């Protein structure tokens, strides 16, 4: 074993892994463009305070999972690696005055996030997300648009057995009233709750709803329902989201226990789940409305919806489904049969690039034979052989590496022959 390995919970993505990764990224980009999102990139690290303010104390991400940067100076010690994308993009929206742009502003980013989690399959300390944010609309259309975006990516990737778990968290006030009722219901039962849920009864009671502990879930059986605490406007909001989803034929189911881990959500929240035979279901992404975050970060009260798809889990699933094909081989492998013709060979490489022809060569290989062997192994379509005799007549030999037939080609015609 080598002295250094990739840090625990991280992975090297080797060339054979990249085939599926490229496809996934390309589909995310394609769908984002089709649905009128603009790309944005923000730094991989931000001030710790930004995450604390947005994600909220009492959440696992802040209390346990933040990768703090231990800097050499006081300034550099105030940073943390981003655990998710929303906080940085909201910061950028406010900092660059995007509320003065035509609204809504739709942004997307394919990003790596860092969380100090206990690593296992599908749970990494560095993971990738397709992050989308929709600013400047408080109405249910924005929520449905964001869900449609993720649905498009999942279906274009050919993922099956996927549905959306959907819930409404209401307004901050409705949630507060509900939380009081929930705590009142659970406090007499607190001795029976799991250790985590006992702790959450004071720090973050909503999170008890999505406890993985079967006993906690049983104790929640008779608990009050958040839906009963929604006023008419909130109930109308989530009902309208559902009507959009129905028209777009996006499968969803109500999940009153879905709360999501982050404090800043209100109204619609959702999670994409893949149901797997004989295995526990797998969360592939989620998101929701977070109107409160903008003002919490001293920005405009403009309405915002955001969502992330977990690309590592999606890639893992796709890799289970199909064997990754090898990438397309180069169009031409340039074989230097006579070292004196190196400059002419370099010019051919430049000409291929200018014509957008994929090209490969290796002038470190000492002999004609070793270059031809490499050309065959790489699977290029043609070998372009530069030999002294032909070159004196301004010609090269083009050999088909699939059929084996070969022809002499005028240098001036080479690119058009290779392209044909
Ligand atoms: P979240 O930002 O927590 O809402 O996560 C959105 C999606 O990202 C999840 O549904 C997962 O698919 C994925 N995800 C979250 N955390 C991890 C992780 N540690 N490793 C791999 N994927 C993750």
Looking up tokens 């777009």 gives: 248
What pLDDT, on the 0 to 100 scale, is given for residue 222?
86
| Token representation of residue 109 | 């980013």
For a mutational test of ligand 1's pocket, the pick from 308, 316, 317, i.e. the residue with the most ligand atoms closer than 8 A to its C-beta, is: 308
Contact 176, 154 (CB under 8 A): no
What pLDDT, on the 0 to 100 scale, is given for residue 1?
75
Minimum CA distance residue for ligand 1 atom 16:
123
Mean pLDDT of 243-252: 96
Minimum CA distance residue for ligand 1 atom 6:
285
CA separation for the pair 305, 293 (Å, rounded): 10
- Judged against a pLDDT cut of 80, whether residue 187 lies above it is answered with yes
Q: Does the beta carbon of 312 lie inside 6 Å of ligand 1?
A: yes
Laid out side by side, the sheet with 382-386 consists of 359-361, 332-336, 382-386, 395-400, 406-410
What pLDDT, on the 0 to 100 scale, is given for residue 221?
86
What pLDDT, on the 0 to 100 scale, is given for residue 131?
98
Query: What percent of the chain is modeled with pLDDT above 70?
Result: 96
Average pLDDT value for the chain: 92
| pTM of the entire predicted model | 0.89
- Judged against a pLDDT cut of 80, whether residue 56 lies above it is answered with no
Which ligand 1 atom is at minimum distance from the Cα of 129? 8
Confidence of residue 67 (pLDDT cuts 50, 70, 90): very high
For the stretch 288-324, pLDDT in tens is 999 989 998 999 999 999 999 999 999 999 988 765 5
Q: Does the beta carbon of 284 lie inside 6 Å of ligand 1?
A: yes
What pLDDT, on the 0 to 100 scale, is given for residue 71?
80
Laid out side by side, the sheet with 252-254 consists of 38-39, 105-114, 126-135, 304-310, 282-289, 266-274, 162-168, 252-254
Confidence of residue 261 (pLDDT cuts 50, 70, 90): low
Query: What percent of the chain is modeled with pLDDT above 90?
Result: 73
For the stretch 10-32, pLDDT in tens is 999 999 899 899 999 999 999 99
Q: Does the beta carbon of 85 lie inside 6 Å of ligand 1?
A: no
Lowest-pLDDT choice from 28-37, 52-61, 180-189, 231-240: 52-61
Q: Does the beta carbon of 313 lie inside 6 Å of ligand 1?
A: yes
* Cα 19 to ligand 1 centre (Å): 22
CA diameter of the chain = 96
Q: Does the beta carbon of 235 lie inside 6 Å of ligand 1?
A: no
Confidence of residue 96 (pLDDT cuts 50, 70, 90): very high
The per-residue b/e assignment along 161-187, b for 16 or more CB within 10 angstroms, e otherwise, is ebbbbbbbbbbeebbeebbeebeeebe
Lowest-pLDDT choice from 248-257, 328-337, 364-373: 328-337
Minimum CA distance residue for ligand 1 atom 4:
286
What pLDDT, on the 0 to 100 scale, is given for residue 158?
92
What pLDDT, on the 0 to 100 scale, is given for residue 323?
58
CA separation for the pair 233, 239 (Å, rounded): 10
For the stretch 105-150, pLDDT in tens is 999 999 999 999 999 989 999 999 999 999 999 999 999 999 999 9
For the stretch 381-412, pLDDT in tens is 999 999 999 999 999 999 999 888 999 999 99
Q: Does the beta carbon of 306 lie inside 6 Å of ligand 1?
A: no
């Amino acid at each position: 074993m080598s002295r250094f390995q990739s840090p625990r919970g991280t992975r090297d993505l080797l060339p054979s892994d990249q085939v599926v990764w490229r496809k996934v990224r390309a589909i995310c980009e394609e769908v984002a463009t089709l649905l009128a999102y603009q790309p944005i990139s923000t730094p991989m690290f931000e001030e710790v305070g930004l995450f604390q303010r947005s994600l909220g104390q009492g959440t696992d991400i802040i209390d346990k999972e933040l990768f703090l940067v231990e800097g050499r100076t006081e300034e550099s010690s105030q940073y943390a690696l981003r655990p998710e994308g929303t906080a940085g993009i909201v910061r950028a929206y406010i900092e660059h005055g995007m509320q003065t742009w035509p609204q809504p502003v739709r942004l997307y980013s394919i990003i790596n996030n860092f969380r100090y989690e206990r690593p296992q399959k599908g749970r990494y300390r560095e993971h990738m997300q397709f992050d989308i944010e929709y600013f400047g609309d408080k109405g249910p259309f924005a929520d449905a648009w964001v869900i449609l975006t993720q649905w498009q990516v999942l279906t274009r990737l050919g993922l099956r057995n996927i549905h959306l778990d959907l819930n409404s968290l209401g307004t901050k006030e409705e949630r507060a009233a509900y939380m009081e009722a929930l705590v009142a219901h659970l406090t007499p039962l607190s001795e029976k709750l799991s250790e985590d849920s006992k702790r959450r009864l004071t720090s973050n009671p909503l999170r008890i709803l999505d406890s993985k502990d079967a006993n906690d879930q049983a104790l929640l059986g008779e608990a009050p329902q958040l839906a009963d605490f929604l006023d008419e406007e909130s109930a109308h909001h989530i009902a309208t989201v559902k009507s959009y989803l129905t028209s777009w034929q996006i499968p969803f189911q109500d999940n009153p226990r879905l709360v999501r881990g982050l404090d800043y959500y209100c109204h619609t929240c959702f999670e994409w789940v893949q149901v797997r035979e004989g295995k526990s279901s797998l969360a592939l992404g989620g998101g929701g409305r977070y109107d409160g975050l903008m003002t919490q970060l001293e920005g405009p009260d403009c309405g915002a919806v955001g969502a992330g798809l977990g690309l590592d889990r999606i890639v893992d699933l796709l890799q289970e489904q199909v064997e990754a094909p090898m990438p397309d081989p180069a169009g031409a492998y340039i074989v230097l049969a006579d070292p004196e013709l190196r400059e002419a060979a370099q010019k051919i490489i430049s000409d291929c690039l200018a014509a957008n022809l994929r090209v490969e060569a290796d002038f470190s290989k000492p002999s004609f034979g070793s270059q031809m062997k490499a050309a065959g192994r790489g699977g290029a379509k043609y070998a372009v052989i530069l030999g002294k005799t032909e070159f004196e007549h301004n010609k090269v030999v083009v050999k088909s590496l699939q059929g084996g037939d070969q022809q002499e080609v005028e240098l001036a015609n080479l690119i058009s022959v290779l392209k044909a």
